[in-house]
Amino acid sequence: MSSGELADATIVFDLDGTLVDTAPDIIRALNETMDLEGLPRVKPDTVRNLIGHGARVLLERASALHGVTFSATRLDQLTAEFVSFYAADIARESRPFDGVVEQLGILASLGAKLAVCTNKRTALSVQLLDALGLTERFSAIVGADAVTDRKPHPDHYRAAVTRAGGVVRRSVMVGDGAADVGSAKGAGAPVCIVSFGYSDVGADTLGADVLLHRYSELAPACRRLLAARP
């Protein structure tokens, strides 16, 4: 059994835009997919506002920017193509955000269990974290395909906490978007939102308990939030 101030706590992280700046590789794979349809390439700043709901939704949103709607069958095909392009070089440019590795170490030293709750597919999430040498830091990695209802449904968050060996009442969500807030709040957990993620609205409008501007603020925020809970 772990010991430390947060020995009974579970800290749950979103992946894209929260733990890892994956936008460069997602943009690459998206534009390679758009090339198949002869559509204009999407600008990086635009894509950052579309990420967070999985590959299929990303493709729907990106094509809609050009007034294009694909049939369900073609969207399935393009989603498979996107995943193939993305997985072929998943961490070419993706890197953990500044301070992430240090904070994961601090939280672990305080006894906390760590988990990932992401709308990315589980296999892709593990592949990415493997490539960055981060997988073993997490007790559970729960992608959208590993649950019946993904974020913002609270069951996705509950699954990440329980599969990590924790309990929701002693957990904190760390994310960057509305789906993260919705999932954790729906389960009854507090939320920290990073201000530098991929949200399509202002991070300060999402209703988080804490807004983080740098990762050095994370461990103190988790300690405060958990100290206020039974």
- Listed in order, the ranges of the chain carrying CATH 3.40.50.1000 are 10-22+94-227
Q: C-alpha distances in angstroms, 228 versus 99, 161, 217?
A: 25, 19, 17
Which residues are part of the catalytic machinery? 14
What confidence category does residue 103 fall into, taking pLDDT thresholds of 50, 70 and 90? very high
What are the residue ranges of helices labelled H in 134-194? Answer: 154-163, 178-187
Chain mean pLDDT for the chain: 94
- Using omega within 30 degrees of 0 as the cis cutoff, is the peptide bond preceding 152 cis? yes
Alpha-carbon gap, residue 19 to 99, rounded angstroms: 10
Could you report the per-residue pLDDT of 159-170, keeping only the tens digit for each? 999 999 999 999
pLDDT at site 18: 97
Q: Which two tokens stand for residue 59?
A: 């493709």
pLDDT at site 183: 98
Alpha-carbon gap, residue 113 to 143, rounded angstroms: 17
What confidence category does residue 1 fall into, taking pLDDT thresholds of 50, 70 and 90? very low
Burial of 12 (0-12, 13-18, 19+ CB in 10 A): buried
What are the residue ranges of helices labelled H in 9-132? Answer: 23-36, 44-48, 55-64, 72-88, 100-109, 122-131
CATH topology of domain 10-22+94-227: Rossmann fold (3.40.50)
Alpha-carbon gap, residue 85 to 189, rounded angstroms: 36
Residue 43: pLDDT over 90 = no
Could you report the per-residue pLDDT of 52-89, keeping only the tens digit for each? 677 898 999 999 988 999 999 999 999 999 999 999 99
| Percent of the chain topping pLDDT 70 | 98
- Contacting residues for 117 by C-beta, under 8 A, at least 6 apart: 12, 13, 14, 142, 151, 156, 157, 159, 160, 173, 180, 183
Whole-structure pTM value: 0.91
CATH topology of domain 23-88: DNA polymerase; domain 1 (1.10.150)
For the chain, the straight-line distance linking the first and the last C-alpha, in angstroms and rounded, comes to 20
* Neighbouring C-beta atoms of residue 40, cutoff 10 Å: 11
The residue written with tokens 């590789």 in the block is 25
The rounded Cα 47 to chain-centroid distance in angstroms is 15
Residue type, 1: M
What confidence category does residue 178 fall into, taking pLDDT thresholds of 50, 70 and 90? very high
pLDDT at site 3: 63
- Listed in order, the ranges of the chain carrying CATH 1.10.150.240 are 23-88
pLDDT at site 2: 57
